[in-house]
A = this chain, B = another copy of it.
């Protein structure tokens, strides 16, 4: 099987690292295409366990040093999983929405936190970061395999499917603090781009919310704003 550097238009991606590859094999063995180990990989108990779970699922384990040169040139990784990308559809319920997010690491942290607080369905409005970017997969620590992420070209495409969700837009121009907001389910929590936030027009079709912070910072960072509000909406 040809190994090539990850690109968005590939039909597969990679789990870089043993723990992450373990998550892939435990959670979504149906997506796994192959597992690579390198000559330096130590045959510890956990490596043996990983090989066993691969055999059980008929996933080939291949010694392939070249794969590591291509996919992990820094050399701090001894196991790589290759898995098929899956086009996903959101289900009804409480949602998260990210409008034009651009940072792969941030998106991974967000998926991890979303999984921690039981949010399974995530909308992303394009253009946006690719959740299958190996950096996102890695930062998610496997949470990517717990969620359904669906991309939409426009907010209208999303609204056609889920018009009944109550929409909360997190905006620095809002005058309603997170603590004052009443939770109406099903809902969608909506966050903008890291640098530019949400376009002002979102205020016309959403209830706007702000997580009040001191004037000494311009804003909370995106995963933090998302994590704090996910937590509060789950606990209200």
Interface residues of A (CB under 8 A from B): 109, 112-113, 115-118, 141, 143, 146, 179, 211, 213-214, 216-218, 220-221, 223-224, 227-228, 231, 235
Contact = CB atoms under 8 A, between A and B. Distances in A.
A210 to B, nearest CB: 12
B223 A141 contact: no
Contact of A217 (B141, B214, B217, B235): B141
Contact of A211 (B141, B211, B231): B231
Contacts of A227: 220, 224, 227-228
A138 to B, nearest CB: 12
A64 to B, nearest CB: 28
A143 B228 contact: no
A118 to B, nearest CB: 5
Contacts of A179: 235
A26 to B, nearest CB: 11
A216 B113 contact: no
Nearest to A230: B228
Nearest to A177: B235
A214 B218 CA distance: 31
A217 B112 contact: yes
Contacts of A113: 220-221, 224
Nearest to A231: B228
B214 A118 contact: yes
A216 B143 contact: yes
Contacts of A143: 216-217
A132 to B, nearest CB: 19
Contacts of A117: 213-214
Contacts of A213: 116-117
A23 to B, nearest CB: 10
Candidate in A118, A213, A216 with the most chain B CB atoms within 10 angstroms: A216
